[in-house]
Amino acid sequence: MTGICNLSIIPIRLQPSDKSEMVSQLLFGETYSILDDLNNWVLIRSDYDHYEGWVDEKVVHKAEDSFLQSLQSAKTIMLEDISALAINQGNSQSLNLVRGSILPVYQDGKFRINDDVYGLTANVCAIPDSPEPGSILEKAMKYLNSPYLWGGKSPFGLDCSGFVQMVYKSAGYTLPRDAHQQSLVGEGISFISEAQPGDLAYFENGSGNIIHVGILLGTDRIIHASGSVRIDSIDHHGIFNQQLGRYTHTLRIIKKMT
């Protein structure tokens, strides 16, 4: 069975418990496959990045077959504003949506999930059919100063890989959810001096595991989510935080996704 997120944000947890850590999120309009259930929790797999985790059964909303068929021929439209108020045309209830939300079967300010039709006045954009590398930095800067949140994907809280994934998604790329997964795709670059704006830099811990990712603004600056989405200096050693006066992340590899 296929479900669809009909709430602003749904947390995806590592284990079937409210006390378990949030490992990712579903934003409005994102679809998922239902894999299993246990003690009022449902195991799901995101259709976008195939990430698996548990959601509360109370937030599961089935996507009807006829609606899913209509999605196949419709362009994927994403909310571009940091937030917007959508109004259910049937019951007049409002719903606050965040940047990155998908607006299914969008046309002339209206979109729908199954038979529920919503209206909103906001800036939207179509996810490109083919990658647009030239738009990556513009998309990234819209998240500047967003707070860090482990497992988050919205401008009101997101982690390093969630930030990169959402920016690249809006530019027409599909990346895995976690930093170590993202580091396995793309073309490696030998030296930071050869990097181009929009390339991805990955960083390791003392054990050699990839634990962080950011988007290069050039060969000496990087935008990344660390405490907040911020811009720091970078060289062949890693990220240098001027505020702290020290290196905070050790550079492992640079990848080009274009």
Q: Measured between alpha carbons, how far is 236 from 193 in angstroms, rounded to an integer?
A: 9
Q: Measured between alpha carbons, how far is 226 from 60 in angstroms, rounded to an integer?
A: 31
Buried b or exposed e, range 96-110, using 16+ CB within 10 angstroms: ebbbbbbbbbbeeee
Under the banding of pLDDT at 50, 70 and 90, the label for residue 174 is very high
Under the banding of pLDDT at 50, 70 and 90, the label for residue 53 is very high
- Which two tokens mark 91? 């019951």
pLDDT at site 87: 98
Sign of the alpha-carbon dihedral angle for 162, 35, 114, 48 = positive
Mean pLDDT of the chain: 97
Q: For the segment 222-234, what is each residue's pLDDT rounded down to a tens digit?
A: 999 999 999 999 9
Neighbouring residues of 237: CB distance < 8 A, sequence distance ≥ 6: 247, 250, 251
Question: How, if at all, do strands 221-226 and 246-256 pair?
Answer: unpaired
Reference 254, options 207, 165, 186; nearest CA is: 186
**Entry pTM:** 0.96
pLDDT at site 94: 97
Under the banding of pLDDT at 50, 70 and 90, the label for residue 172 is very high
pLDDT at site 73: 87
Give CA separation, 107 vs 74, 111, 129, 150, in Å. 10, 6, 18, 34
Q: Measured between alpha carbons, how far is 140 from 61 in angstroms, rounded to an integer?
A: 31
In the predicted structure, residue 55 carries a pLDDT above the cut 80: yes
